[in-house]
Amino acid sequence: MVIEKIQNARVRKLTGNAHALAQRDLNFKEFLSNIKLTEVYRSPDELKKVVGMFDIYVCGSDQIWSPMLLNPLFYLSYVDDKYKKNVYAPSFGMSHIPDNKKDKIKELLLRFDHISIREKQGQKIIKELINKEAPVLLDPTLLLSKDGWDLISKNNNIDKPYILYYFLSENKAYWKTVRRLAELTNYKIVIVPVTAEAYKEDGILQEEAGPAEWIGLIKNASLIITDSFHGSIFSILYNKDFFVYKRFSDEKSTS
């Protein structure tokens, strides 16, 4: 999600449909209104206000522990040691930690009372750094059944069938496959734009889609093409035909 937010911010600067983006913000706010939240904290100092409000502090999931975006706040660095600190199924997003970041991550990991992880490669990293066995647990999106997600999802008014294109990276070569599949199947192309490149392609843009609308787009798609972990997860939940593409080169994903 951190990576997606950065990319979304860049897209906002490069695209001009202010109305659609404002509607997307409203859709996100509507989705979040179903969740009990604290006030918004906009700095590390403000975040310290939550210390003492709860008995247990939990961080997770997704790639909050990516060394590429190493942020001690995502390791609950602001929480005093007298409070319990747990983590549920985060991901490091890579198979090994760069040598220059190992000591810092080890220091942060040692402060947790309980650690679980999302992938076996993360389990191996934790074992190597702090010699603890971290159970591999489900991504939290899989803790809710398809029926549960149906209650959250919102249907769209797109005439079926369609190919849903949801990419977090830019790769023009992938578009050749999308266009070819559209020609072979006679399906429409529906795009949830995350990158600037997506706005340049032929397709039905879904700029305003929030989480509920996004789930509905997957639920009603005939075919899904994505480089997103959660795009893949929800494709599986809804028993969809889908293709998964690599987001990074081998060199970039392990650096």
pLDDT in tens, 126-142: 999 999 999 999 999 99
Q: Give the model's pLDDT for residue 79.
A: 94
Domain check: are 194 and 97 in the same one? no
Q: Give the model's pLDDT for residue 202.
A: 86
Domain check: are 106 and 14 in the same one? no
Q: Give the model's pLDDT for residue 246.
A: 81
Strands 188-191, 56-59: pairing kind: unpaired
Domain check: are 17 and 52 in the same one? no
Q: Which of the listed residues 120, 140, 160 is the one where a domain comes to its end?
A: 140
Number of H helices, E strands in the chain: 10, 8
Domain check: are 149 and 132 in the same one? no
Q: Is residue 166 part of a domain?
A: yes
Domain check: are 14 and 104 in the same one? no
Domain check: are 149 and 136 in the same one? no
Q: Is residue 188 part of a domain?
A: yes
Helix (H, G, I), strand (E, B) or coil at 251: helix
Cα-Cα-Cα-Cα dihedral of 85, 90, 125, 244, to 10°? 180
Domain check: are 10 and 93 in the same one? no
Domain check: are 14 and 49 in the same one? no
Domain check: are 197 and 163 in the same one? yes
Domain check: are 136 and 199 in the same one? no
Give me the amino acid identity at 160.
Answer: K
Q: Which of the listed residues 140, 175, 201 is the one where a domain comes to its end?
A: 140
pLDDT tens, 16-46?
A: 588 888 999 999 999 998 888 999 899 999 9
Q: Is residue 84 part of a domain?
A: yes
Q: CATH number of the domain that 207 lies in?
A: 3.40.50
Is residue 248 pLDDT above 70, yes or no? no
Q: Give the model's pLDDT for residue 150.
A: 95
Q: How far is CA 170 from CA 114, 156, 200, 245, in A?
A: 37, 25, 11, 11
Domain check: are 14 and 50 in the same one? no
Is this structure's pTM higher than 0.85? no
Domain containing 70 equals 44-140
Q: Is residue 198 part of a domain?
A: yes
Q: Is residue 164 part of a domain?
A: yes
Domain check: are 241 and 184 in the same one? yes
Q: Answer for the pair 38, 50: CB distance below 8 angstroms, yes or no.
A: yes
